[in-house]
Each structure stands twice: as C-alpha cells, then as structure tokens.
C-alpha cells in the first residue's frame, strides 16, 4: 500500500530526473541526433522501459505516480487501471496493486484472431479507468487507447505517465480536447536541470539540448538529413 507521506511535486520531479539519469535511461547527443519514431531528429532520447530492471527505483517511482494521481484526481476516482501496450503494462500492474484496483491492458490494435479483442482483462460498462503509460510526447498515441476503453462503455478522463516531454505546447490541448487530463512525474526541463546540477554531460551537449527544448520544431527542421 501507499505510504502516508510524500515529497512535493517539485521534489518528486527532481528525484525522478535523478533516477532516470542514474540508470542511464537518458541519452543526450546533439552532434549525432537520434531518429525518433516520427522520423524526425532529436538530441534527446529516453528509455523508461529500463526502469523495470531496477526494483528500488521502480518501486519509488510507482509510489510517486500513484500519489500524484490521487492528489490530482482524487483518492476514490478510479475503478480500473489500464496499461497501454506494451510499455505501460508493467507500470499499470504496479499502480493497480498499490491502489488495490483491477488491472487491464489495451492493445494497439485488435489481436486479429479469437475474440479479436483490444482490451485484455475485465473492464465493464461504467467503470472509471485510469490509462497508465511510460511516457508521452505530443499525446496523440493516447487517444486510440482512450477510444478503445470508451468503446467498452467505461469512461477514461485521465492518463498518467512517468515522463512527459513538456516541450510541445499542443500536447495538453490535444488530450484536453479529447476529455483527458495528463498526470506526470517529470519533463525534459527537470532532467536538463538535474543533468546540469550533476555535470552529467559536457557543456556543449547541454547547450545543444537546451536549444532543442526551447524550440524543438525549429531545431528538427534545421537538423533534418
């Protein structure tokens, strides 16, 4: 169950960033940018999936995520915790355990045989569902999961993630227009601040990352190809 006392949001953000840096889930490289799933370049990359291999860190972050949701949405706000395939599944299971609620997961698309289901587990009409994933960039991928949940007759007005990019201003509007509120632990700005405090990367790298965070679309356009 959840301990009774937790840090304030700013300290949760700092500690989350510190943990992500500690396990080397954060990658910065302004000279040789990463290619994102969108095909666009980025000097930043984060791998939240690594968290499942670090028991002390994953337990602490799941405590943080659970208490963040309860503080922001309510202590009795949900009836079911759903994970998004695939990265959200382990985190949804851990949050569901802490909240003593049923856990389900949502496929990216119907499985193509048998029941052709997108929802695995027991989700029923009228249940209030929290969608849990590892991260969000612009919020777009969450909408399909939310729609699949709503097709069961359940409601889904909240999604919780460990990491939120926090650099694309349209993200919360995209989700909000779909009736979904975002809860998160930290953003790239929190990671950059902690990386600077630790001296985790050289100055040139940090300056390049900061330039990207301040205007990601322009940075990507300038670094295409």
> Rounded to whole angstroms, how far apart are CA atoms 157 and 131?
9
**Residue 141 annotated as part of some ligand binding site:** yes
Intra-chain end-to-end CA distance of the chain, in Å: 49
- Residue 108 counted as an annotated binding residue: yes
* Joined tokens for residue 99: 């909240």
* SS3 state at 175: helix
Does residue 135 have a known ligand-binding role? Answer: yes
The reply to whether 111 sits in an annotated binding site is yes
Is 139 marked as a binding-site residue? yes
Say whether 56 counts as a known binding-site residue: no
Q: DSSP for 82-108, please give it.
A: EEETTTHHHHHHHHHHHHT--EEEE-S
Confirm whether residue 136 is marked as ligand binding: yes
CA 42 to chain centroid: 18
Has 137 been labeled as part of a binding site? yes
Q: Buried (b) or exposed (e) across 132-148, using 16+ Cβ within 10 A?
A: bbbbbbebeebeebbeb
173 appears as a binding residue in the annotation: no
Q: Cβ distance 9 to 17 under 8 Å?
A: no
140 is known to lie in a ligand binding site: yes
Do 209 and 192 meet the contact criterion of CB atoms below 8 Å apart? Answer: yes
Residue 179 in marked binding region: no
Q: Which residues are annotated as a binding site for orotate?
A: 137
Point out the annotated binding site for 5-phospho-alpha-D-ribose 1-diphosphate: 107-108, 111, 133-141
Binding site: what residues are annotated? 107-108, 111, 133-141
């Amino acid at each position: 169950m959840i301990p009774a006392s937790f840090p304030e949001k700013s300290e949760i953000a700092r500690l989350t960033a510190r943990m992500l840096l500690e396990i080397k889930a954060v990658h910065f490289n302004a000279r040789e940018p990463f290619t994102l799933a969108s095909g666009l370049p980025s000097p930043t990359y984060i791998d939240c999936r690594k968290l499942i291999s670090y028991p002390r860190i994953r337990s602490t972050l799941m405590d943080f995520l659970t208490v963040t949701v309860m503080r922001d949405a309510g202590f009795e706000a949900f009836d079911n915790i759903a994970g998004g395939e695939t990265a959200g599944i382990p985190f949804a299971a851990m949050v569901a355990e802490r909240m003593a609620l049923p856990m389900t997961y949502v496929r990216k698309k119907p499985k193509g045989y048998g029941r052709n289901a997108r929802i695995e587990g027991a989700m029923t009409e009228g249940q209030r569902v929290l969608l849990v994933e590892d991260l969000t960039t612009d919020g777009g991928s969450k909408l399909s999961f939310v729609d699949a949940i709503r097709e069961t007759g359940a409601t889904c007005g909240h999604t919780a993630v460990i990491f939120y990019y926090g650099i694309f201003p349209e993200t919360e509007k995209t989700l909000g227009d779909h009736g979904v509120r975002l809860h998160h632990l930290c953003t790239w700005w929190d990671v950059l601040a902690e990386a600077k405090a630790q001296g985790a990367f050289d100055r040139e790298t940090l300056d390049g990352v900061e330039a990207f965070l301040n205007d990601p679309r322009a940075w990507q356009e300038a670094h295409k190809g």
